[in-house]
Amino acid sequence: MPPPLEDGAKIAVEGLAFGYGSEPIQNNLSFTVATGSIFAIMGGSGCGKSTLLKVLIGLLRPLAGTVHVRGEDYWSVSADRREQIGRRCGVLFQSGALWSSMSIADNVALPLRMFTALTEPEIDRLVQLKLDLVGLTAPGDMMPSDLSGGMRKRVGLARAMALDPDILFLDEPSAGLDPIGARRLDDLILALRDGFGSTVVMVSHELPSLFAICDGGIFLDADTHTAIAIGAPRDLRDRCDDPTVHAFMNREIPKSDSAVDDGGQK
């Protein structure tokens, strides 16, 4: 029997460990993602944020623990069932991961052609709807290489939304965008959450975005190989006593590092 989901939780993770060999990168992670929330996976470089995302979207089997998605034990169900669950999840990869040889319309149409029996005119209409949704005014026959980084992210988001997912996974959505582009993308993510009731899980280093839009999160630590804080980024910034989390969320150089910077004078 799956453990009962906390009221309103879309994803429940219990005792999770994962890594690429037998040695875990992260151990003993337990957290829930509330329905309709925007949940941040935080932590320094190399602590395992993107790898956790891979476990949550079905690309990497965990070493231990469970992931319940909408009450189903994601890694215990059959591969077919896992794929069905995955189709209700949209993913925006860090680079946008668009097919460079396909037009932007064909990129967005791809999941519709692969996983639905819709006719081409129906697909065309849906593609236009998704491009409108993300505020992309460029013609659908443009190629990804003709777009700015921010526009490519929007196309990636339109593709992630193609099958009307109720969970969106975003890997560093505002990486590489200028501050205005990042702010616009934040607004778009909020609008998608508010308009469609989507639940969003995002990996991000961008503190302004984390503070502006996330209402929950987990902070992974590379040294202890586990989570050292759970909570909304704003709360971790203002109220977390852990020195690593406090320094990260407030952009302070940890004391141990400043001693090195000072040539060990302190």
Distance (Å, whole) CA 28 – CA 30: 6
Query: Using the rule CB under 6 A, is 137 a contact of ligand ATP?
Result: no
Distance (Å, whole) CA 117 – CA 104: 21
Q: Can you give 197-261 as a three-state secondary structure string? A: CCEEEEECCCHHHHHHHCCEEEEEECCCCEEEEECCHHHHHHHCCCHHHHHHHCCCCCHHHHHHH
Query: Using the rule CB under 6 A, is 46 a contact of ligand ATP?
Result: yes
* Nearest approach, Cβ of residue 10 and ligand ATP (Å): 22
Distance (Å, whole) CA 173 – CA 209: 10
Residue type (1 letter), 75 = W
Residue type (1 letter), 47 = C
**What is the footprint of ligand ATP within residues 184-203 (CB under 6 A)?**
none
Query: Using the rule CB under 6 A, is 209 a contact of ligand ATP?
Result: no
Query: Using the rule CB under 6 A, is 30 a contact of ligand ATP?
Result: no
* Nearest approach, Cβ of residue 151 and ligand ATP (Å): 23
The residue with tokens 């990129």 is 107
Distance (Å, whole) CA 21 – CA 63: 9
**What is the footprint of ligand ATP within residues 143-172 (CB under 6 A)?**
none
**Among 25, 91, 136, 201, contact with ligand ATP (rule: CB under 6 A):** 25
**What is the footprint of ligand ATP within residues 51-110 (CB under 6 A)?**
51
Nearer to ligand ATP, 52 or 123 (CB): 52
Query: Using the rule CB under 6 A, is 20 a contact of ligand ATP?
Result: yes
Q: Which stretch binds ligand ATP (CB under 6 A): 40-48, 127-135, 137-145, 256-264?
A: 40-48
Nearer to ligand ATP, 9 or 170 (CB): 170
Q: Which residues bind ligand ATP (CB under 6 A)?
A: 20, 25, 43, 45-51
